[in-house]
């Protein structure tokens, strides 16, 4: 059974009113959901950084442990060389052992220098680690506060939102797929989410551009769905919206004032 253009327009207008109510309720939340999401991202990033810094400190401690073991090995070699010097037979052997002992001593000095460098790196990284952990703690406190605030606001509006969503689901099923897609495409392209706009004193209720008389007449005739030539919104007249012409004029003035205040 074919649905009349009049019925399609009324279904579109009803869905728009439902979505506008939802938009208004969600606006009450303000920036809270985004702030919560940003804080969660920050915390995840800082926790990853903490993990990386901790792994780097562990690696440096492992390097220090390796250098300390090397020092012990070279010290044992030096002790061995000292014992060998007591049983030396000629100057050539003496010079060779002294050379090996000097090399071992240099290796010990080099290892000790590297240990000091590693310890300095650990000290710097631990400072960064503490600062990062403090940042995590601060953001976790902020997140807990924001989440509790968000839950409280959502709780206050949950019942009304649930009822509106049921109405919305029922209204959406009445739209044919093509209109459904067009409606959501337009909503996604306009800033205020108004895909279906009423005519206000001969102008589009969405962008306030003047509607040519013939186009205005075509809209009232309901023989096809007509959009605004300027913004692309679907246009409906007062027989669809049920808004009296005088009320449309008042609504237009109020809306224009809000737009001017918003754009300042």
Q: Give the integer Cα–Cα distance in Å for 57 and 122.
A: 6
Distance CA 14, CA 241 (A): 8
Give the mean model confidence (pLDDT) for residues 200-219.
92
Mean predicted confidence (pLDDT) in 175-179: 91
The CATH architecture assigned to 32-172 reads: Orthogonal Bundle (1.10)
pLDDT digit string, tens, across residues 225-245: 999 999 999 999 999 998 654
Q: What's the pLDDT at 162?
A: 84
Q: What is the pLDDT of residue 98?
A: 93
Counting beta carbons within 10 angstroms of the beta carbon of residue 76, is it exposed (0 to 12), middle (13 to 18) or buried (19 or more)? exposed
The whole-number pLDDT of residue 250 equals 42
The per-residue pLDDT for 243 is 66
H-run or E-run covering 135: helix 91-173
Tell me what pLDDT residue 257 has: 41
Question: What would the mean pLDDT of 203-224 be, rounded to a whole number?
Answer: 92
- Look at residue 142 in the predicted model and tell me its pLDDT: 95
Per residue in 101-136, pLDDT tens?
999 999 999 999 999 999 999 999 999 999 999 999
Helix, strand, coil tally for the chain in percent (to 5): 80, 5, 15
94/84 Cα distance (integer angstroms) = 9
Are the C-beta atoms of 193 and 25 separated by less than 8 Å? Answer: no
How many helices (H) and strands (E) would you count in the chain? Answer: 7, 3
Dist CA 54 CA 122 (whole Å): 10
Domain with CATH 1.10.287.1490 in the chain: 32-172
User: What is the per-residue pLDDT for 27?
Assistant: 80
Q: Mean of the pLDDT values across residues 174-183?
A: 92
Sign for the CA dihedral angle at 23, 26, 29, 31 comes to negative
Owner of token pair 């220098």 = 113
Q: Are 125 and 52 in contact (CB under 8 A)?
A: no
Q: How confident is the model at residue 262 (pLDDT cuts 50, 70, 90)?
A: very low
| Least confident segment among 21-30, 211-220, 229-238 | 21-30
């Amino acid at each position: 059974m074919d649905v009349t253009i009049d019925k399609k327009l009324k279904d579109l207008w009803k869905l728009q009113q439902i979505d506008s109510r939802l938009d208004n309720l969600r606006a009450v939340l303000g920036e809270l959901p985004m702030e919560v999401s940003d804080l969660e991202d920050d915390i995840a990033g800082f926790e990853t950084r903490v993990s990386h810094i901790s792994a780097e400190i562990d690696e440096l401690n492992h390097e220090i442990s390796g250098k300390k073991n090397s020092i012990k090995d070279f010290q044992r070699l030096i002790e061995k060389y000292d014992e060998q010097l007591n049983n030396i037979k000629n100057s050539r052997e003496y010079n060779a052992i002294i050379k090996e002992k000097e090399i071992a001593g240099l290796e010990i000095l080099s290892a000790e220098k590297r240990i000091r460098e590693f310890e300095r790196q650990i000290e710097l990284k631990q400072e960064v680690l503490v600062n990062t952990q403090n940042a995590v703690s601060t953001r976790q406190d902020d997140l807990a506060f924001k989440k509790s605030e968000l839950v409280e606001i959502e709780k206050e509006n949950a019942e009304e939102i649930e009822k509106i969503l049921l109405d919305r689901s029922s209204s959406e099923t009445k739209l044919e797929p093509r209109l459904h897609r067009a409606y959501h495409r337009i909503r996604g392209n306009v800033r205020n989410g108004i895909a279906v706009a009423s005519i206000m004193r001969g102008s589009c209720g969405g962008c306030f551009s003047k509607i040519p008389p013939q186009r205005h007449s075509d809209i009232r005739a309901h023989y096809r769905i007509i959009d605004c030539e300027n913004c692309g919104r679907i246009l409906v007249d007062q027989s669809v919206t049920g808004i009296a012409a005088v009320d449309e004029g008042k609504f237009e003035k109020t809306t224009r004032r809000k737009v001017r205040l918003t754009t300042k």
